[in-house]
Amino acid sequence: MISYLKRVEIMKKINKSRYAILGLLLDKPRSGYEIKQFMLEFTIHFWQESDASIYPMLKTLEVEENVTSKSEFVGRRERTIFEITEAGKNEFLQWLVLPAEEGTRRNEYLLKLFFSANATKEDVIQQLQLRQKSIEESEVRFRNIAENVLSKVSDENDRKLFWTLTLNNGIMHVKAEERWLADCLKMLKK
């Protein structure tokens, strides 16, 4: 229980998976599997966790008494539902108002482009087109979230507003990338 605050003092760099998970549990009780699914639908463009992070972290949070668990049946299927405690809520809220830290920026695509004086023009153009395709896919995914997913979310206490804002962020950056790609292709074909 105690060890967490101690870790913060000593280490500086702490695991943020915990906050992503606590935040979703503050919205409502969920199973590990539901957390995974939710992230795939809503937060994929700015936050993701793998199974191998979620399940162990839920156990850790339970030991720390930040969440409690209970067994529940959906039809005949059993699953473990986790609920946030007051302690967990407090820890989450403390994190929420802290200034966000910037993560390491690593973009392999730009790294390749940076070195592309060593490639043929054809190879560079092919890479750019691959990138265009992957960006288009993101755009489709975003439109899908906007039309099919977010439209079904109820707007208690501005929750939907903030979900929309993060989605908009993704859309803006995708559009910026598209414009930039078009510019690049224009310059290369000269």
Q: Are 175 and 132 in contact (CB under 8 A)?
A: no
**Smallest separation (angstroms) from its own copies to the CB of 78:** 29
DSSP 85: -
Tell me how far CA of residue 148 lies from CA of 35, 48, 152, 158, 189, in angstroms.
19, 21, 7, 19, 39
| 77 near DNA, rule: CB under 7 A | yes
Q: Name the β-bridge partners of 82.
A: 30, 69
**Smallest separation (angstroms) from its own copies to the CB of 11:** 16
- Compose the 24-63 pattern: x for residues touching its own copies by CB under 8 A, - for all others: --x---------------xxxxxxx---------------
- Give 10-32 as a 3 state SS string: HHCCCCCHHHHHHHHHHHCCEEH
Residue in 4, 114, 103 with CA at minimum distance from that of residue 48: 103
**Smallest separation (angstroms) from DNA to the CB of 184:** 25
Among 8, 38, 46, 56, binds DNA (CB under 7 A): 56
User: Nearest 10 degrees: CA dihedral of 150, 28, 96, 155?
Assistant: 40
**Smallest separation (angstroms) from DNA to the CB of 120:** 28
| 129 near its own copies, rule: CB under 8 A | no
Pick 87 or 119: Cβ nearer its own copies: 119
Cα separation, 94 vs 4, whole angstroms:
13
Among 1, 6, 9, 76, binds DNA (CB under 7 A): 76
| 61 near DNA, rule: CB under 7 A | no
Q: What are the residues binding its own copies (CB under 8 A)?
A: 16, 19-20, 23, 26, 42-48, 92-93, 96-97, 99-119, 123, 127, 130-131, 134, 156-159, 161-163, 165-166, 168-169, 172-173, 175-177, 179-180, 183-184, 187
